[in-house]
Structure 1
Amino acid sequence: MEYTEKILHQSNYWYNDGLRKAKIRDISGAVQSLKRSLQYNRENIPARNLLGLVYYERGEIAEAIVEWILSQNFQKSDNLAGYFIREIQKDKKTLEEIDRAVQMYNQCLVYCDQGAEDLAVIQLKKAVQIHPSYLKAYQLLALLYLKTGQYQKAKQVLKRAHRLDTTNETTLKYMHELSELRETQGTKGREQKTYEIGNDTVIQPAVSPLKENAGFLTILNIVIGILLGAAVVWFLIVPAVNEVKSNRSNKSVLAFKEEINSKDAQISAMKKELETIRNSSDENEAATAAALAAKDSYEKLLTVKEHYNSGQYAYATLAKELLEVQKDSLGDQGKVQYQAIADEVYPSICAEHYSSAKQSYQQGDYPKAITLLEELIRMDGHYKDGEALLLLGDSYLLNNEKDKAEAIYKQIIEAYPKTDVAKRAEEAQKGTPANTQGAGTEESVDSGQSGADVYNDYGSAYGDTAGSDTEDYQGQGDQDVYDNYQETEESYGDVTYEEYQ
């Protein structure tokens, strides 16, 4: 079984597990299983739709809508998510009631922070009456009953919450807490006193402590009544007055929060979709750029080939045209033809550039020397076993481009270790050029000799391009080369029309 099939199998397994748990009201377990299913395959449409239904079942409407929106983005047609969203939008009354229940729940949290548990209980009763499947409201109501000692009411509320979600950890925790609190309660037996009068035994029940302390308890009850009255004023009347004052602002704030939550859900879904689109767009752009670069290089190579075969263009012109061709974007056959022309054209031009660069260097025209040497290096990066690179580094150094000079010297040392040119580059790193400056006698002789050699060796490159060698090259062998290029151009043309028509 392939890796992809294993992943899909795992996703379907957890979907089936979540479906089984949802059928037995194990809502929390179903959520965990469905989330694991989506971790293996985020495009598992049935799992995502079921997760939305589970969220909706326990009253988390915003989370449900998010999952259905994501599901609809992955599959536009034949998707139940669209039906679910339309049904929610259609039943506006129910949606408004659920929104009202959520607002009541949020207000109860504020009341709890303020210590007004009585008001919180009233609001929570209304919330669960409006939204009977609101699990969080049941749990908070049970917690308030536990705090106030109303254990019987807490038990009833927890039973309803347990029916909604049989394995919810919060509900089970509260039920366990309720059991422990009720076990601590119990009635203590009262002690009895016995007297013996003659042969008779008289059993007298113990006097209740309440009766013995009746006067004290009366005063205590009065004090408690006063405190309860003050508490009623403080916890009921004062908060009610404050609620009236802040009611308008609270409503607007809650409305904004709900709107923000809805927008955040939509934004989250749209961001995920946009990320997917961007990834595919970047790949298409890269493929397009590569195809255009290949097409441009083939066109330029064919132009160079035509000019070369015509015998009417100097090698200097052919070299400039050949440098504009991106060799790496050519196919194997194109690279062979490129190299054949380069081997014929570049040597003479490199010799001329090197001679002219040395002359410009000796005359102090370092920018010109740099231009010539950079073009030479593009044609032959190892010309004269690093001497051209060393001269380029010296030109950078004397032209106050020390960073570029340092980079060139390091390149020479790494490419030609333990050679004379590497040793000279190491010395040049200290700030002294390896090549001497100025038009000295020795350099002038070398320059003159170099110029003569260039003319004698490569004169045919500029004046004799139409000679017998060129005519031989334009024979039958050249016709085969040209036919190969025609085939390459036609093949590339097919790809171009297929991609971009």
Structure 2
Amino acid sequence: MTDNLSYYYYNIGLKNARIKDITHAIDALSIAVVLKEDNIPAWNLLGLCYYRLGKLPTAEYCWMTSLYISNGINANDTANANSVNNANNANSADIANNADNDSSAMPNNIASDYLRCVREDIKFIEDRITGVKTLIAEKKYKKALRVMEKEFSRNLRQKNDKFTLNNFNDFKIDKNVMLLNYIGLLYMLNKKRRKALRAWEKAISLDTSNPDTLKYILHAFNAYK
């Protein structure tokens, strides 16, 4: 019973991910992995969703859990998961394509590829964002914005030429909701409202229900009433 419910919520999460409603996809996928802890496709898709939001340590945790479980997963569970995916996930695109590829690739768990990439990304971002946070704490907003534009806007494009998630090229680091929200806030602090709104419009196109982005957009409009 709980296994069927887990796959039901997995498919809801997959459907939401297809339409770029990542926030609600995460809600459904979180239920899926609680109901069936060894639902590897759900863990992997959950990691991809957190990756899109820019929550890289959480994505790393999901993929580490997936790999740990896959070492001892029951073959019947894998067969059941594949049959549900094949029946419900035809004509998937972007995030959905990668989830389907993952489930069909068992027992070769693609989470190992994701982990290699996300660990590079975590180091890349943390090394740079720490300095930006220090500047913000010191209220040096202009300098913080210059650092963000220099270190991320330029270097992220260069980085993407080398580091992308295998078979999931739409999940590039410059399509990162957290960074877009962060840059938008810095634009607002520097009184560059139009640029802030453009950053948040891009973020909301990646996750249509993101509560932080929606809050920032609403604040930007209310501030100029």
The 3 A distance-change label for structure 1 pair 99 and 134 is: farther
Letter in 2 for 1:136: M
- Does the CA-based 8 Å contact 1:102-1:127 persist in structure 2? no
CA deviation after TM superposition for structure 1 residue 10, in Å: 2.0
Other structure's SS at 2:37 match: coil
The equivalent position to 1:105 in structure 2, one of 129, 132, 156, is 129
State the match for 1:158 in structure 2. Answer: 200
- Does the CA-based 8 Å contact 2:9-2:28 persist in structure 1? yes
In structure 1, runs of 5+ residues without a counterpart are 185-501
Other structure's SS at 1:133 match: coil
Is structure 2 residue 17 aligned with structure 1 residue 12? no
- Does the CA-based 8 Å contact 1:59-1:135 persist in structure 2? yes
Alignment partners' CA distance in 2, 1:110 and 1:65: 25
Percent sequence identity over matched residues?
25
- Does the CA-based 8 Å contact 1:88-1:95 persist in structure 2? yes
Alignment partners' CA distance in 1, 2:221 and 2:6: 39
Other structure's SS at 2:175 match: coil
CA deviation after TM superposition for structure 1 residue 40, in Å: 1.4
Alignment partners' CA distance in 1, 2:131 and 2:143: 10
Q: What do residues 430-485 of structure 1 show as CA deviations (whole Å, max 9, x unaligned)? A: xxxxxxxxxxxxxxxxxxxxxxxxxxxxxxxxxxxxxxxxxxxxxxxxxxxxxxxx
- Does the CA-based 8 Å contact 1:105-1:123 persist in structure 2? no
The normalised TM-score by structure 2 is 0.69
Bigger relative CO (Cα 8 Å, ≥ 6 apart): 2
CA RMSD of aligned residues (A): 2.2
Alignment partners' CA distance in 1, 2:11 and 2:214: 25
CA deviation after TM superposition for structure 1 residue 88, in Å: 4.8
CA deviation after TM superposition for structure 1 residue 98, in Å: 5.3
- Does the CA-based 8 Å contact 2:181-2:203 persist in structure 1? yes
CA deviation after TM superposition for structure 1 residue 166, in Å: 1.1
| Structure holding more helix per residue | 1
The 3 A distance-change label for structure 1 pair 110 and 54 is: same
The equivalent position to 2:70 in structure 1, one of 55, 71, 75, is 75
State the match for 2:22 in structure 1. Answer: 27
Is structure 2 residue 186 aligned with structure 1 residue 144? yes
Q: What do residues 154-178 of structure 1 show as CA deviations (whole Å, max 9, x unaligned)? A: 1111111111211100000011111
CA deviation after TM superposition for structure 1 residue 95, in Å: 5.6
Other structure's SS at 2:223 match: helix
- Does the CA-based 8 Å contact 1:121-1:141 persist in structure 2? yes
The 3 A distance-change label for structure 1 pair 103 and 42 is: same
Other structure's SS at 1:167 match: coil
CA deviation after TM superposition for structure 1 residue 147, in Å: 2.6
State the match for 1:268 in structure 2. Answer: none
Residue pairs, 1:172-251, within 5 angstroms: 172-182=214-224, 184=225
Is structure 2 residue 113 aligned with structure 1 residue 86? yes
- Does the CA-based 8 Å contact 1:105-1:127 persist in structure 2? no
Alignment partners' CA distance in 1, 2:5 and 2:114: 32
Q: What do residues 236-261 of structure 1 show as CA deviations (whole Å, max 9, x unaligned)? A: xxxxxxxxxxxxxxxxxxxxxxxxxx
